[in-house]
Structure 1
Amino acid sequence: MGAGINGIITDFPGTANAYRNNRCLKMGNKKPGYMKPTPPGGLLPIVNAALLPPAEAPNPVLTESDVAEPPLPSVTKNTSTSGNGTVASPPTSPKPSGQPQSTTYVLFSSLGIFLTTLLLL
């Protein structure tokens, strides 16, 4: 409405039509005070000052130890040597977790389903 827009796409055509046909939009400068937009900061005089947020966030006092980080440790290649001075090779495969294989569980659950089906028939 007055913004140079020549069309509206909406999911609520009834609401858009009611807004377009609103008689208050055609009042121009004769609008009552309650229909005029509030200017920025216009409501501050009526708000209790004790309820307002602080004007600025508190600035904590920082020291150099609060900001400075210690240097990172140097990167070195980690090689372990055995007692006789030779370099031990890392294990090639991880150790098994000690858990039974999942195929065992699948076998027993399938057997249980089969026996339950036989009992129901």
Structure 2
Amino acid sequence: MATAQYETRTRTVEETVVVLTLTEDEAKELREHIERVAVSGVVYRVYEALIKSTPPAQQPAPAADTFEYDGVTYELNATYVDRDGDKWHFARIDGEVIGGGDHKPEDIDDGCSLDFIMDYRPLTKVTP
């Protein structure tokens, strides 16, 4: 007897795309040029994209006192505890974020790399 079973599979597809960046004036001139000639197919789809373009969603800029690691945002002025109960503080020195154990951020001179500290995740923010 034949049987059938539905399965859900996830596929990862890599695709190369071309991103064209235009100023508003350049986009306007390109729209006007396309309007003057008979177009179809791909060129018409480009024209449609130009006339239907929407401004990008405004995302707030990250605060200067935070940093992101693996999609998680951490605060530079906060204290965190790792899975072993050790405390960590973070500081940005010469543009690089480093961490130190029981040191306050302003006292971190030669701290630990983020990769080292993040091996002890999860980090839990200590709230007063």
- TM-score under structure 1 length normalisation: 0.17
Q: Which structure shows the bigger proportion of residues in helix conformation?
A: 1
Structure of greater Rg: 1
Q: Which structure's relative contact order is higher, taking Cα pairs within 8 Å and 6+ residues apart?
A: 2
